[in-house]
Structure 1
């Protein structure tokens, strides 16, 4: 099971269990605790789950909170029934507010993640440009890009091959897509294909070589990561072209 799938599974389990446990903790205080205050505590539990999970986990937590609010904290107790009209309204509001707040929490978490990822990707691109500006050898730029590609795409390994196009390998294209071109047939991939994948290095309109990516089995990285990988390869090509190295026609 991948890290993402394990994380999603844990989030769903938390969505089911956390509201139940919070409602259970509130049982000894339900005689002195208003329905509104109990609902607010459960909304907090929903937000906590949504902050670590995806949208489905947030919605599940909101539904779970409403169910256990009904079962434990409204009369008649330990039954899925609500006698008081005010408690019915509170339960409905708990569900609606829980759904809204959980989705907002998930969105906020994703925005934070995006900001962090974008900063890391920008740093990677800036590092390559800085090497070129400092007059480092094109080989140093190529090596830097090779290491960045391993981390960026989660590769098992990566190597650079100068000036040859042996074999017909799946290719990471300039638009971030992964394609295999064969006579009369083109295949697009959503998962990493078996074996190596090529990322061509072109500078000044000339082909200088390719990075041969050795991926782990599984889904392709995010599109933005693939586009950054293409940009890094382009920077390596620019460094090779600026140095005036020989190229393939």
Structure 2
């Protein structure tokens, strides 16, 4: 998380500085290079910033590119005014393309993150299944799944209690991925995981209760339905091994 914030902060600085630096370097070539070519080079800069940073950085890079294109390459020079209609069109297109490529970069990065996350889920489930299939220690499996639950749901901790269910009337993560608490479904999408109390995840097999995991969530932790269902699958691996 801290690394991501530092990267996004650096991207914002880059969004301001990079278009200015590239524009300034191209000024000596102003009489030999078409404005449309300059705009294309600035679009490349915007794409690079958007791919490295986040949406605000990409938008800021597009704005910065437009400002310095106007300042350095549209007559009258070194003034924020434009006297040629074609330069106005080029400026508008530069900023529009910059915003469009920013959205594409954000979408691509999001898809990449989803693919990596799903690969991690599958790897965790496979590792748990292998311990059960090869006759590994049930305690090792319980401990490994505890760690995988923490990673999957971004928890503070996950501890296992054998032979217990419902003690203390905690919110319960059901097999459908929904959380039931006090007779109603908890709105995870809006409220995040319950953090004032542990969340109960039952470990069962063929209708036989073996125990439960108590999940301690960080306040305002988002856990999509897909992640909650992975958590249930992980608990099932423990149930199958204990059964």
TM-score above 0.5, yes or no: yes
Greater Cα shift, 108-117 or 57-66:
57-66
CA apart distance, 1:222: 4.0
5+ long unaligned stretches in structure 2: none
Greater Cα shift, 132-141 or 8-17:
8-17
Q: Could you list the per-position Cα deviations for residues 184-221 of structure 1 after superposition, in whole angstroms to 9, with x for gaps in the alignment?
A: x6543433413422222222123221111223334223
Match of 2:177 in 1: 176
CA RMSD of aligned residues (A): 2.7
Equivalent residue for 1:228, pick from 207, 227, 230: 230
Match of 1:51 in 2: 51
Q: Secondary structure at the match of 1:51?
A: helix
CA–CA distance in structure 1, aligned partners of residues 173 and 11 of structure 2:
33
Q: Secondary structure at the match of 2:132?
A: helix
CA–CA distance in structure 2, aligned partners of residues 83 and 24 of structure 1:
20
CA–CA distance in structure 1, aligned partners of residues 197 and 11 of structure 2:
33
CA apart distance, 1:112: 2.1
CA–CA distance in structure 2, aligned partners of residues 91 and 74 of structure 1:
9
CA–CA distance in structure 2, aligned partners of residues 100 and 225 of structure 1:
31
TM-score, length of structure 2 as denominator length:
0.83
Equivalent residue for 1:199, pick from 198, 201, 204: 201
CA shift in 2, pair 1:215/1:104, >3 Å: same
5+ long unaligned stretches in structure 1: 242-249
CA apart distance, 1:4: 5.8
Does the 8 A contact of 1:58 with 1:106 survive in 2? no
CA apart distance, 1:10: 5.0
Q: Secondary structure at the match of 2:72?
A: helix
Match of 1:213 in 2: 215
CA–CA distance in structure 2, aligned partners of residues 14 and 171 of structure 1:
46
CA apart distance, 1:143: 1.9
CA–CA distance in structure 2, aligned partners of residues 176 and 61 of structure 1:
41
CA–CA distance in structure 1, aligned partners of residues 233 and 4 of structure 2:
26
CA apart distance, 1:126: 0.7
CA–CA distance in structure 1, aligned partners of residues 221 and 209 of structure 2:
28
Q: Secondary structure at the match of 1:33?
A: coil
Matches within 5 A, 1:133-152: 133-152=133-152
State the aligned residue count: 239
Does the 8 A contact of 2:22 with 2:42 survive in 1? yes
TM-score, length of structure 1 as denominator length:
0.81
